[in-house]
Structure 1
Amino acid sequence: MARRLRPVELDFVETAPLRLVFAAEAAAPADALYRALAVETETWPEWFAAVTHSRATDGGREVRLKGGTRFEETVMAAEPSARYAYRVDVTNAPGLHALLEEWRLTPTAGGTRVQWTFAAAGGAPLRFALRMGKPGLGRAFRDAVTALDRRLAAPGGAPGTAAS
């Protein structure tokens, strides 16, 4: 059953009761990574294994994950080549009260540092489950960044991008 979450602002990424922060290095430039994250949202299932469906909506996205979890999101920050953040407004995931995710892209000498912050509020069972699931979330994030980086480096690159 889908339900509406508490709307939060961008500062929630720093003030959330539970913050899970992950980072990975990519060889791809920040602009190509940003384009894949924020513009080519329909391609997420091609590089993020947990995502089965992603499509842009007016002001946000609709996302489905393996296992049937659904999210209706509002884009909160879209700063080309630097940051992409979205708030979950409606979900069928149990226990969530609020959720905001932020992707930060920082150019490095060898490419881009990608940082993903998962900022959530919910009851004690949810917080416990997310803390216990942190290693799996981190692995899923690193695998996604690796797959996206490979995709962007492939001959012809991703649609709308130049090969590296």
Structure 2
Amino acid sequence: MTNTPPRPSGAPDKPVLDGLEEKWSRRWDESGVFVFSYTHTDAVTRCQRMRGKEVSWWRDGSVHRAAWPDACALREYAGDAAVLATAAEAIAAVRKAKSQARLSMRAEAAGVLVTAERATLDRFAAASDDVRAAGRIAAVQLRDAQGALKVEVTL
């Protein structure tokens, strides 16, 4: 014998789902209500952000709704490839420091000390505003020294 509570009077033995979608779709259309659930996408996105990943998705303003850039139009702005390589190396060092500290890539970096030969520092200076923006770096210091580029990050 089971301890099943008594069924309220008038309740069916088995719920009938036939016609529910049409019924509610019609009501929502008439009232101008749009129903869409972001629950799953939102949950996955939040989970990935908590793990320190940069996550975006197709909501208004998202990069995923923007048209792909035309490479031909961008080539006229290409400039010096060495500047790009120096900037990329610096940004990679900042991202690595944040990753090792288990911080979001959106976390602010208090500062960066860039040590390199004068020619490399000049290339870095040409892209320093972009590097600061990409790495969310508050302050950048440059130090002239012999040897390869070295980037010290203070989080």
Could you say whether these structures have the same fold, taking a TM-score greater than 0.5 normalized by the shorter chain as the test?
no
User: Of the two structures, which has the highest relative contact order with CA contacts closer than 8 Å and spacing of 6 or more?
Assistant: 1
Whichever structure has more helix as a proportion of its residues is 2
Q: Is the radius of gyration larger for structure 1 or structure 2?
A: 2
- TM-score (norm. length: structure 2): 0.23
What is the TM-score of this pair, normalised by structure 1?
0.22
